A = this chain, B = another copy of it.
């Protein structure tokens, strides 16, 4: 009988998990990559799917297609629901998978800081389904405004509020502004899309607060040039279907609006709490689990946590940020560490190499901090473009995304703005005086003449 090879189970085919799987391609081990989706998603470009510049297919690669040559690796489309760490098994919705070494890299979801009821009103952007939903809300708001007669409601429909001044919030705000000012120009007959109001709301006193002060300022200027109103030092205190309340202390402000997008925070996948419970560990408020310098849970020899689910400290004792570069380096590192361990060898602790951070603002501006140089404006945008293209997993996608971008750049078109699925019932109804069908009909008759 053949000897049982070392079994490595990786949960999550995001940047961390996929990098680990790819790094283990020569390992003398049986690797199982479990994901509930059948594709790896290049999340940094997801906002472009949400705003109609790219198709979801452009930034997704089937996990099987990425890994098919790797004979020691299999891909399992399955939902992990819990852990049995005593028996060393991952519990699926419909089965179990035993492991010798476990890498947990299931990523994060939106964090509403105790206001989970906001989720349906102010969706966040993490999945393809989120992007489709946000795309529908943005473009449907303009469509509904075109058919509306009440000026106050038209203004509400043309008001877009993005909460959270991190890179995702900045990118969304820039893209929505360009949709209103450029893409939809001349496409409507009654409304003027360029009159849309776009607010970017940040609780701290500047946007992109992990960036250098000067770059925060540049980003703010770029956004304002696109017509975005940047509100800093203001928290959201209430959101409902048709208005949002902002402010701090006594200074409260209410804005009538139809579309609110959430980019204010993320928390660990619920699997973080599940795992912590099994191991009697504490998590932080975002549900993340502390790992040591080997990205391993202290006192457990076989469980590693990386990416958005982990609190890993840098050399200054600060937690590493939840970004793709960190997860990817962690995954690649674990592949080496675990390969060494299988051969009973030692391997060095994890060190994050920070090559820089960047965020893009609309069609041709970005801020980038590479430490040795800070870029903004068009130069920042070109470096952003180059780096993002380099990292898109598959060659095909890289070419297609480049063609799409080139086209978008020169034409300002957004052809991927299909409103898919069922229409948003809220919008259909709220424009109608529901109890006066006859009056309503005659009013409409007037309207659509």
Interface residues of A (CB under 8 A from B): 4, 7, 32, 36-39, 54-58, 60-62, 64-65, 68-69, 74-79, 89, 92-98, 128-129, 132, 139-140, 143, 146-147, 184, 186-189, 394, 396-397, 399-400, 403-404, 407, 411, 413-421, 423, 428-429, 431-432, 440-441, 444-445, 447-449
Contact = CB atoms under 8 A, between A and B. Distances in A.
B447 A77 contact: no
A189 B58 CA distance: 26
B449 A38 contact: no
Contacts of A448: 32, 76, 95-98
A38 B404 contact: no
Contacts of A77: 140, 143, 146-147, 419
8 contacts: A4-B449, A37-B418, A38-B143, A38-B419, A62-B417, A95-B447, A96-B445, A399-B407
Contacts of A147: 76-78, 95
A410 to B, nearest CB: 10
Given A77-B143, A128-B420, A403-B399, A65 B415 contact: yes
Contacts of A399: 403, 407
Interface of chain A: mostly helix, strand, loop or mixed: mixed
Nearest to A39: B418
A210 B66 CA distance: 42
B396 A415 contact: yes
Given A57-B415, A77-B419, 18 more contacts: A55-B56, A55-B416, A62-B415, A65-B413, A69-B186, A76-B147, A78-B147, A92-B444, A93-B428, A94-B428, A96-B444, A96-B445, A96-B448, A98-B448, A132-B420, A396-B407, A399-B407, A400-B404
Given A78-B147, A95-B447, A64 B128 contact: no
Contact of A432 (B74, B94, B403): B94
Contact of A417 (B38, B79, B89, B189): B38
Contacts of A417: 38-39, 62
